[in-house]
Structure 1
Amino acid sequence: MGDRIQETARAAVRRYGRTYAEEAGIQLGDRPAPLYQLLVLTTLLSTRISATIAVAAARELFAAGYRTAPAMLAASWQDRVDALGRGHYKRYDERTATMLGNAAELCQERWHGDLRRLHREAGSDVRALRRLLTEFPGIGPTGADIFLREVQVVWTDVAPYLDRKVVSGAKRLDLPASGERLSALVGQDDVPRLASALVRVSIDAKAAEGVRAEVSGRS
């Protein structure tokens, strides 16, 4: 039974372990530009729109050069709307363009465009990190979860970070729902990828079926 649980976790990583940051072309590192790009992606993912469209819109914003808080601020509101539109992020484009501008202003004025400062202020207190993240326009508790789930790749003091969607996905695959036990199944380095996989499983029953089918095929 233990071997099957471990193989289930590893199959989930193989099938669905690509993070949203990777899909958006963000080379995530503990540096101002990629951390800001993750904040942008988180804002887009926080709206009631598909993850595929949110990722596409993020790629369009980055392709337009809006990869840092100063660059986003320098763009006009219409520039941001147009980039979002190219990513087919049209239902919420105008409101989101405004939020991105306001968030960039907050990032620049309070954190000097460098979210490492936010991390340092919070220390290792995850609740403080969540609270500071929700001060950005467009990012609520769910958005803070998305950011922390993704950033744990580089902010290792946050790991293992499991939000409700990760736990839901783990339960759907009959995996343990604790960070310590999940880490033991795949290794600490792959916990962020497992978290990403379990989010997909939590929102797509077919993803869970695919993981189970792969495990059964290897049995």
Structure 2
Amino acid sequence: MTTKTMQKTRQTEKAVVRALLDRQEGTYAAQAGIRLRNSPGPLYQTLVLAILLSARIRADIAVAAARALFDAGMRDARSMANASWQERVDALGRGGYRRYDERTATLLGKGAELLLERYNGDLRRLREEPDPKKALLDVPGIGPTGADIFLRDVQGVWPEFAPYIDRKALDGAKRLGLPTSSERLAGLVDQREMPRLADGLVHAALDKPLAEDVLAAARSA
């Protein structure tokens, strides 16, 4: 590939990424009302959202359920553990998360108790584990998919995990004709935009009309 061809390809890729980010209303975390910082509350809220998103349920319902939990005061591990099982079920139901509400209410309670016991509710201590991703899998309700979702979001405040592009985000990259290398994708945006890019790629993987709109906009740019 000639230098000129490489430059044109990179310009095309950047146009696709910009069109994608322009159409993104916000990350799933932002839609759930999470102002992500490296502090216990926002990190825990991001973990709760990852648990909800990893179930076989629509993303918008998972986001709504997370907001309902947070609006009910369950914004950190201690408040989640102190809430009754029924209070958790009711909040999930208000968010439309009815198919998995009872099981998830139990998982959230057990997970909060584990985090309090092991890290005093502060996920920054999990970051200090020899293998934080492996430690995440100990949390009830967090499997490989949930761990990917959590790390995809927190890479903006835990830069040692960046660039973090999980399998679902790579599906979106393929659909948009973008590179499937995390490093090459990271080269298309400022580091601060990596969580937005990863999240946008997931949107593109799940929403074919969105991906087609992005490609059309990039071609006309």
Structure 1 position 65 matched with structure 2 position 69: no
Q: Give the number of equivalent residue pairs.
A: 213
Amino acid at match of 1:53: I
Residues 184 and 17 from structure 1, CA distance in 2 versus in 1: closer, same or farther, beyond 3 angstroms?
farther
Amino acid at match of 2:209: K
Deviation of residue 216 (structure 1)?
2.3
Q: 1:165 aligns with which of 160, 164, 168?
A: 168
- TM alignment of 1:28-177, pairs within 5 A: 28-122=36-130, 128-177=131-180
Deviation of residue 47 (structure 1)?
1.0
Contact 2:34/2:42 (8 A) holds in 1 = yes
Deviation of residue 161 (structure 1)?
0.2
CA distance in 1, matches of 2:162, 2:25: 16
CA distance in 1, matches of 2:194, 2:39: 21
Structure 1 position 5 matched with structure 2 position 5: no
RMSD: 1.1
User: Which residue does the alignment assign to 1:125?
Assistant: none
Deviation of residue 217 (structure 1)?
2.7
TM-score for the superposition, normalised by structure 1? 0.94
Instruction: Give unmatched runs, 5+ long, in structure 2.
Output: 1-7
Deviation of residue 215 (structure 1)?
1.2
Deviation >4 Å, runs of 4+: none
Contact 1:11/1:215 (8 A) holds in 2 = yes
CA distance in 2, matches of 1:17, 1:178: 25
Amino acid at match of 2:111: A
Q: Deviations over 1:51-88 (max 9, x none)?
A: 10000010010001000111011110000000001001
TM-score for the superposition, normalised by structure 2? 0.93
Q: 2:200 aligns with which of 197, 200, 208?
A: 197
**Greater relative contact order: 1 or 2 (C-alpha under 8 angstroms, separation 6 or more)?**
1
Contact 2:61/2:97 (8 A) holds in 1 = yes
Amino acid at match of 2:78: P
Q: Deviations over 1:153-186 (max 9, x none)?
A: 1111111001111111111111111222112211
CA distance in 2, matches of 1:184, 1:39: 27
Deviation of residue 15 (structure 1)?
1.1
Structure 1 position 206 matched with structure 2 position 192: no
Amino acid at match of 1:42: A
Contact 2:129/2:135 (8 A) holds in 1 = no
Contact 2:48/2:66 (8 A) holds in 1 = yes
Deviation of residue 17 (structure 1)?
6.5
Instruction: Give unmatched runs, 5+ long, in structure 1.
Output: 123-127
